[in-house]
Amino acid sequence: MLQHCCYLQSSCKGRRYAHLLHIDSSIQGELSVSRSLTKQFVEEVLAADTILLGLPLYNFGPPSSVKSWVDHLVAPGLSVDPATMTGMLGGRDLLVLAARGGGYAPGTPREGWDHAEPWLPHALSLTALEPRFITAELTLADSNPQMAELKPLAAESLAAAQREIDVQWAPIAA
Ligand SMILES: Cc1cc2nc3c(=O)[nH]c(=O)nc-3n(C[C@H](O)[C@H](O)[C@H](O)COP(=O)(O)O)c2cc1C
C-alpha cells in the first residue's frame, strides 16, 4: 500500500515520467492508510480541550506538514457531519503560534503574501475548529544582515507575542 505522498518514476517509449501521488491511492477506502491516519488525527483532536499548533511561514504558505494535517482532519463522517455539513470538532481551543521571517504588515511591499495565517481558518472552517493566533514576525532580522534595520520591530513583535503567551498561561484564580 502506498503511504502518504509517494514519488514514483516510470518510463514509456523512451520517456521518463514522474508521478506524485496524493496521500495514498485508496484515499476513500475505510481500510486505507490515509483513512486510518485521519481517524487518528481526529481522535487526537477530540480528546483535547486545547490544541497548540506551531505555524511557521514557508515559501509564503503553510509547511507541507501542517497542510497534510489539515487535509487529513477535514473528513466527512469524522470531523464534518455529512448530512448537515456541520463541523464536529468545535468547542475546543486551537491556539496557533505563528512565526514568519519577514514582515507582511499593511503598507509593506509583501502585504498579502502570507498565505498561511489567512488560509488556516478557512481550511478548518468545515470542522468548526476556530484558530486563535499569536504571531511573531521578522524573526529573520537577527540573522539576516539585510534586515538589520528591522531588528527593533522584530524585538517588538516577539515581545508582544511573548506577552500574549504569558496571558494564556496566567494562573487561573481559584
Ligand atoms: C523552508 C523555509 C521557507 C521559509 N519561507 C519563508 C517565507 O516565505 N516568508 C517568510 O517570511 N519567512 C520564511 N521562512 C522563515 C520562517 O518563517 C521563520 O524562520 C520562522 O521563524 C520559522 O519558525 P520557527 O522560528 O518556529 O522555526 C522560511 C523558512 C524556511 C526554513
What CATH number does residue 79 fall under? 3.40.50.360
Position 24 in a domain: no
Domain region containing 90: 31-168
Query: The whole model's pTM is what?
Result: 0.85
pLDDT, tens digit only, all 174 positions of the chain: 333 434 445 566 677 765 544 555 455 677 788 889 999 999 999 999 999 999 999 999 999 999 999 999 999 999 999 999 999 999 999 999 999 999 999 999 999 999 999 999 999 999 999 999 999 999 999 999 999 999 999 999 999 999 999 999 877 777
* Rounded CA separation 55/133 (Å): 9
3-state secondary structure of 117: coil
Position 110 in a domain: yes
Position 4 in a domain: no
Position 68 in a domain: yes
* Rounded CA separation 55/139 (Å): 13
Q: Whose CA is nearest to atom 28 of ligand 1?
A: 58
Position 11 in a domain: no
Residues contacting ligand 1 via CB (< 6 Å): 54, 56-60, 99-102, 139-140
Q: Quote the radius of gyration of the chain (alpha carbons, Å).
A: 20
- Structural domain tally of the chain? 1
Ligand 1 centroid to 100 CA: how many Å?
A: 5
